[in-house]
Structure 1
Amino acid sequence: MKLKTMSKPVFDGHAVRRILERRLPVEAVEQIAQVGVTVQENGTRVMKRGDVNGKPVHVVLAKPNTIITVYSADEWESTVAVRRKRQ
């Protein structure tokens, strides 16, 4: 069975500035956007989590595939709860 993966993400200008500011590898950010763990999702945005050099990183996307911001998960006090869709 083949897994469905997202097409190559598009980077918003704000996200590019944050990636450079935080010195994150673009390839790692792309990988998190494509296959990272979904932490939170609503009708227009999705937050995914992954690790870069052992540090947790969140990537926020505007659906379907525009990266709008990137940050280290330890930069703020997280109150995000993992939500799952009812089946």
Structure 2
Amino acid sequence: MISKSVHKEDIKGALRKRYGTLIAFEQAHDLPTQSVKDVLRGRASARVEQAIADDLELPLHRLFPGRYVAAQAGDSSLKRDNRRTKRNAHRLSAEAR
């Protein structure tokens, strides 16, 4: 079965092939140090995610399927997945109350 998303190790591998290290990628795109690592671990950063997507020439919803939804017919761009079920899915939501 073909996966609709790209594995984070494939993303890291592609960036390393082009730049040698993730730090070199961050420097080339004027990104904060360790920002790519943070994004791949699950921390959202629209600027870093967009830089990775532009460099790899892949859509955001394919690289980060849990954060973005594909544009529907008539939509002009991707949208963050902010559905109520997604927002309330945080591991601390139930315990924090």
TM superposition score category, shorter chain reference: 0.3 to 0.5
- TM (norm. structure 1) is 0.32
The structure with the larger Rg is: 2
| Greater percentage in strand | 1
The structure, 1 or 2, with the larger RCO (C-alpha pairs under 8 Å, 6+ apart) is 1
| Greater percentage in helix | 2
